[in-house]
């Protein structure tokens, strides 16, 4: 397996534009997590899915953020409109179980810069 695949690796966009981040989890992993990492706030959970269904989206900062998982092999995180404070590294992770008892597999992240 190629691991968790995220695209793009880097994204630079202008304030107000729509940004879509993509993630392909490991096949057979029932859980998918979206995290955001910044210097100020560290690593924060945004949302996670179980079998394509969102379970906890309490970490989504505001209505400008939305996440979908249309099937077991693909998820998107969309920001519309984007703002400079959204600049961060966004990670996707997948796991066979909710709590990572069998480990999490993280993607390499998408570094988003909003100018």
For the window 70-99, what string marks contact with other proteins as x by the rule CB under 8 A?
---------------------x-x-x--xx
7, 13, 45, 52: which one contacts other proteins (CB under 8 A)?
Answer: 45
Cα→Cα distances 82→18, 37, 85, Å: 6, 16, 8
19, 23, 109, 114: which one contacts other proteins (CB under 8 A)?
Answer: 109
21, 23, 29, 33: which one contacts other proteins (CB under 8 A)?
Answer: 33
CB of 105 to other proteins, least distance (A): 8
Contacts of 115 (CB under 8 A, 6+ apart): 12, 13, 14, 15, 84
Quick check: 46 and 56 in contact, CB under 8 A? no
């Amino acid at each position: 397996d190629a691991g968790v695949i995220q695209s793009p690796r880097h994204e630079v966009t202008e304030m107000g534009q729509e940004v879509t981040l993509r993630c392909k989890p490991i096949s057979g992993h029932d859980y998918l997590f979206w995290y955001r990492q910044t210097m100020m706030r560290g690593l924060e959970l945004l949302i996670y899915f179980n079998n394509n269904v969102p379970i906890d989206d309490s970490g989504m900062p505001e209505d400008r953020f939305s996440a979908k998982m249309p099937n077991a092999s693909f998820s998107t995180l969309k920001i519309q409109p984007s703002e400079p404070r959204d600049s961060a590294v966004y990670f996707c992770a997948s796991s066979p179980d909710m709590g990572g008892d069998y480990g999490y597999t993280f993607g390499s992240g998408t570094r988003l810069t909003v100018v």
